[in-house]
Amino acid sequence: MFLNVIDSFKIAVQFPILQRKSYMTACEVKAVLMKALALSEAYVRGEGSHFQVIAVSEQFAGMSRVKKQQTIYIPLMEYILDNRIHALSIKTYTPDEWQRNRKLNGV
């Protein structure tokens, strides 16, 4: 999985997209993540091509911070490569971590 992310970025750099597709909405980004991953909760804010994602799932338990971010990037890679998503801020939590940090995130 890790090599796929790196290879995708290499391709994007070598062959820039000539025509930008329309931007995504926060609801569309959330729908992609909820469909692709076993998330118990997801919160997406943003507009245009800049989004902030909070993802909650038991699958994040024991993962490194990098692996958690890669898990979120993978289903969104198509939209990153065609510039529908340009900037992405990611916070990931297990359900227990989320219960402790929920108020800090204003959700």
The predicted-structure confidence for 51-87, as pLDDT tens digits, reads as follows 999 999 999 999 999 999 999 999 999 999 999 999 9
Domains (range + CATH), the chain: 2-105 (3.30.300.90)
32-59: pLDDT as tens digits: 999 999 999 999 999 889 999 999 999 9
- What are the distances in angstroms from CA 102 to CA 6, 82, 94? 32, 32, 11
Q: Is 92 helix (H, G, I), strand (E, B) or coil?
A: strand
Structure letter (DSSP) for residue 106: T
Q: Is 27 helix (H, G, I), strand (E, B) or coil?
A: helix
**Distance separating alpha carbons of residues 40 and 22, to the nearest angstrom:** 29
